[in-house]
Amino acid sequence: MGEMVEPDYRQVMPLSPSPSPSNTKTLEGLMEVITIKDSTDPSKESTTKSTNLQGHQQNPQEAWLPITETRNGNSIFAMFHLLCSGIGFQALFLPVAFATLGWAWGIICLSLAFAWQLYTIFILVQLHELVPGIRYSRYLQLAIVSFGPKLGKLLALFPVMYSSGGACVIMIINGGRTLDLLFKTICDHEATCHVQSLTGIERFLVFTCVAILVAQLPNLNSMVGVSLIGAITAIGYCTLILVLSITKGRPIDISYGQFDVAKSNMEKISDILNALGIIALAFRGHNLILEIQGTLPSNQRHTSYKPMCVGVTISYIVIAMCQFPLAIVGFWAYGNKVPFSGGLLSAFSQIHGANTPKLIMGSIYLLVLVNYLCAFQVYARPVFDNLEMRYTTKKKKPCPKWVRTCLRIFFGGVTFFVAVAVPFLGSLALLIGGMVLPMTFAYPCFMWIAMKKPRPNGVVWSINLGLGCLGIFFSVLIVIAAARTLADKGLNANFFRPY
């Protein structure tokens, strides 16, 4: 499942000098090497790795799939994709975490989480093309090569699919609700507005139809304009909320108290773990790093590593400039009045919505809505790629345009159905999100050890092993705390009744 060249099963290139029998079997199934004959001397043969057009060939199947269909990306394109997928609605909940942790611990925990996830991103970027010419453009591929077919799929399949498909479902749910807020902002209490508001199912359907219409763009590079719009709208609504929160001042009865004295020690511990989970889930998109890097050109002289590092560095500077002010200014402006259900956007709407012009409120909701539509495209690509990979593997030919269209409509139908069936999925974000956190904080560290094979008990080996184990332990604690909170406060399980 690593990127392969034209099939020749006579030679297999191992990732290490002396792989174990199980690893050898894995690699044989994942990599193929082509033997190219010199046209001037048929007796001369040279083994080459898969790259782009500069003297190398890639597996034809890679050219049929939406992620690796084109290799003409660059650092700017990668930056747009990373910004569109990296700045999301989760950042609007950071003040909720600060309300529990307080100023000092909130900033410390946010900084540590940012540094940790950025470190694992650079691990993935380096592992993408660890052996020159062999590229892993999908997170699941790298997990299988690192951990073996069975364990790799067991560990990574659910996190990758939830981070892609689940994110799209939540965007449909939140997009539908934002559409309702936009409608109410424009038409509520207007004598000239006689349009009846859409039902929850109708709003979900409108959002899904528009999203799947845009999703007909063939591959990741072809939708760079969509990612640019997504990045601009994300930065736009973050900036508007920040500026308006500062200029309109703080409520009179604001409070920065961290804990209710009536709470037990167990409840306080659960609140702290939930706050840490909110911070951890604010950083998303690790399931897309390898896919985005897979759109960049590469050859034996110039791999995709440096351009991707440039894109990651610039984009995460911008992401930090959005997320840290949102957390700090949001907590300063609203204290513990930020609701867990709607985050900073709901706090601003409830406190300042009445004295904010409709044009500005409508602009914020519109920016949020457009950002959901654009981010949907980026997060849906791995699912489209997986569906088309299954088709091309079976049929041994590219997807016809009508098949590609049908597969994407099918995905839209499935996500729409799940959104209607489980409209409270956002309430389970901490519980399910905690289960997939190792994909961000733990698995890349273990992948580094498995692929690079650093000296046991060395500094690098110890750091990665420690971070990986800590990430697993952290994930388990967050899941336990989220489950306890749900059991204590209950869950409004409104199946098939979106509001």
Which pLDDT score, from 0 to 100, does residue 188 have?
73
**Predicted model pTM:** 0.88
Query: Token match 């990979």: residue?
Result: 389
Q: What tokens were used for 415?
A: 């996500």
Q: Which amino acid is at 424?
A: F
CATH topology classification for 70-489? Hydantoin permease (1.10.4160)
Which pLDDT score, from 0 to 100, does residue 190 have?
63
439 within 8 A of 152, measured Cβ to Cβ: no
Q: What tokens were used for 19?
A: 């792989």
50-67 burial code (b ≥16 CB/10 A, e <16): bbbeeebbbbebbebbbb
Which pLDDT score, from 0 to 100, does residue 446 have?
98
CA angle 66, 317, 454 (to 5 degrees): 75
List, in sequence order, every residue forming a beta bridge with 46; answer none if it has no partner.
Answer: 36
485-497 burial code (b ≥16 CB/10 A, e <16): beeeeeeeeeeee
Which pLDDT score, from 0 to 100, does residue 345 have?
93
pLDDT tens digit sequence for 109-153? 999 999 999 999 999 999 999 887 789 999 999 999 999 999 999
Q: What tokens were used for 324?
A: 């840290």
CA atoms of 415 and 420, how far apart (whole Å): 9
- Contacts for 462 with CB less than 8 Å, ≥ 6 apart: none
Query: Token match 């990127």: residue?
Result: 3
26 within 8 A of 144, measured Cβ to Cβ: yes
CA distances from 311 to 63, 74, 91, 160, 492 (A): 23, 8, 21, 22, 41
- The dihedral built from the CA positions of residue 204, 359, 282 and 65, taken in this order, carries a sign that is positive
pLDDT tens digit sequence for 378-436? 999 999 999 999 999 999 999 999 999 999 999 999 999 999 999 999 999 999 999 99
Which pLDDT score, from 0 to 100, does residue 1 have?
52
Which pLDDT score, from 0 to 100, does residue 56 have?
41
357 within 8 A of 135, measured Cβ to Cβ: no
Delimit the domains of the chain by residue range: 70-489
CA distances from 40 to 36, 37, 45, 50, 425 (A): 12, 9, 11, 22, 63
Show pLDDT as tens, one digit a residue, over the chain (499 residues).
Answer: 565 433 333 333 333 344 444 444 444 344 333 333 333 343 333 333 333 433 344 678 888 999 999 899 999 999 999 999 999 889 999 999 999 999 999 999 999 999 999 999 999 999 999 887 789 999 999 999 999 999 999 999 999 999 999 999 999 999 999 999 999 998 876 656 777 889 999 999 999 999 999 999 999 999 999 999 999 999 999 999 999 999 998 888 888 876 666 788 898 999 999 999 999 999 999 999 999 999 999 988 889 999 999 999 999 999 999 999 999 999 999 998 998 888 999 999 999 988 999 999 999 999 999 999 999 999 999 999 999 999 999 999 999 999 999 999 999 999 999 999 999 999 999 999 999 999 999 999 999 999 999 999 999 999 999 999 999 999 999 999 999 999 998 888 899 999 8
From 474, 479, 488, 484, select the one nearest 431 (Cα to Cα). 479
Which pLDDT score, from 0 to 100, does residue 422 have?
96
Which pLDDT score, from 0 to 100, does residue 371 have?
98
Query: Token match 């199980």: residue?
Result: 22
Q: What tokens were used for 96?
A: 């909720």
Residue 20 has a CB neighbour count (10 Å cut-off) of 10
